[in-house]
Amino acid sequence: MTNYEELMNKAKEASQKAYAPYSKFKVGACVLTENNNIYTGCNFENASYGLSICAERNTIGSAVANGEYKIKAIAIYSPNMQNCTPCGACRQVIDEFKSDSGTVVLTEKDGKILSHRIEELLPGGFTL
């Protein structure tokens, strides 16, 4: 059984390290891979907004850099809003690296962890 609270706590910790001087919208993420390894990351902005990186893609990039290509779950947290779901680009990236059994996307509202299947958030994701 996956401890979703642990993943969310790690996402919360990661959100504190976000670099968001322009939007002030900090986000942290925590990925659990099929090999049961955990990776964290946060968003970081750039004065040229298009060069900013979302927490979800930063975190998945860390997993990929360590040879991990299948994720079982990703927790996403922002102190700026409840139920912080991933943007469209991040949904597509999560879909690309989902595990064969599917991937759970975790958010939080009123202190309760919500779980969504990536297929619910991105029906008909693009594949080659």
Q: Is the dihedral of CA 37, 42, 46, 52 positive or negative?
A: positive
* Class of the CATH-defined domain 4-121: alpha beta
pLDDT exceeds cutoff 50 at 44: yes
Q: What is the pLDDT of residues 95-115, one digit of tens each?
A: 999 999 889 999 999 999 999
pTM, whole model, 2 decimals? 0.95
Residues with Cβ within 8 Å of 79's Cβ and at least 6 positions away in sequence, in order, are 12, 15, 26
pLDDT exceeds cutoff 50 at 1: no
What confidence category does residue 2 fall into, taking pLDDT thresholds of 50, 70 and 90? confident
Domains in the chain: boundaries: 4-121
Residues with Cβ within 8 Å of 117's Cβ and at least 6 positions away in sequence, in order, are 102, 103, 104, 105
Catalytic-residue membership of 56? yes
Active-site residue identified among 45, 56, 68, 108: 56
Higher pLDDT: 18 or 102? It is 18
